Structure 1
Amino acid sequence: MNKYPSESMPLDGSLWGIAKISNGLIDKLGDKGNTFDGVDFVVTMSGKLKIGKKHHFLGKGESVQAAGTLKIVKGKVKKIENDSGHYLPSIEETLLFPAIFEDLGLKIKGAALKIKYIKNGKFETITKFVQ
């Protein structure tokens, strides 16, 4: 998934860390901790969960498995959103996010999956909860 492969790298992008997962939770990312609301993420094709700022920067302009924003509280994923202006995950792609996160070893049962999409020229949102 990469809707704009030739887009130049953003100057304000930053990698806060590649998530390490223990017992289904995200470990602290150095001085950034492990509680965030609306932080950017990508899951690379090789299965690395990168957290930081600017999806295109995090994904190095390459295709990724998943991209969006996360709400994480003390390492527990509470909300996953497909909110990425660069990768623009479709509804179908976003519905795969829970399996992708579970394959990483994250416990996401009960997390909200917020799917943003365009219908008739307007943004719409569907929210599901991971079973």
Structure 2
Amino acid sequence: MKKPLFICCLFFTAVSLHEPALAQDAALQRVELQEVALPPDKIGFMDMVTIAAHGAVPPFTHPGVQLFYVLDGDFVLKIEGQPELDLKPGMSFRISAGARYSFENHGATVAKLIDFVVEKDKPTGTPAP
């Protein structure tokens, strides 16, 4: 009887410790639209990315160059060491490999963009320290 109770306590402790991180990640949703192998050692991803209304995405990095095209919404892109960019539908931008960046959606509607990443055997994104 003690072992199941101990396991339940560990589970609820782990969930409560990670709750703030889960709340932050809820602002960003990513749906993979296509994945293509690019010889000899690259792979391309095309994703639909949404940022919740009034949502903020904590800093991220990517191992490869990342390209975006804005479909809907008005939001701010912050790339470390560069001026903030106000992005609107129809705009595109590039983030260099390894750059630390974040998004803030100041609008009352969901922001949508298409994301292109090219790398193989590496994560599509990593939370930045």
Q: TM-score, normalised by structure 2?
A: 0.29
**Which one has the largest radius of gyration?**
2
Q: TM-score, normalised by structure 1?
A: 0.29
Higher share in helix: 2
Higher RCO (C-alpha under 8 Å, 6+ residues apart): 2
Higher share in strand: 2
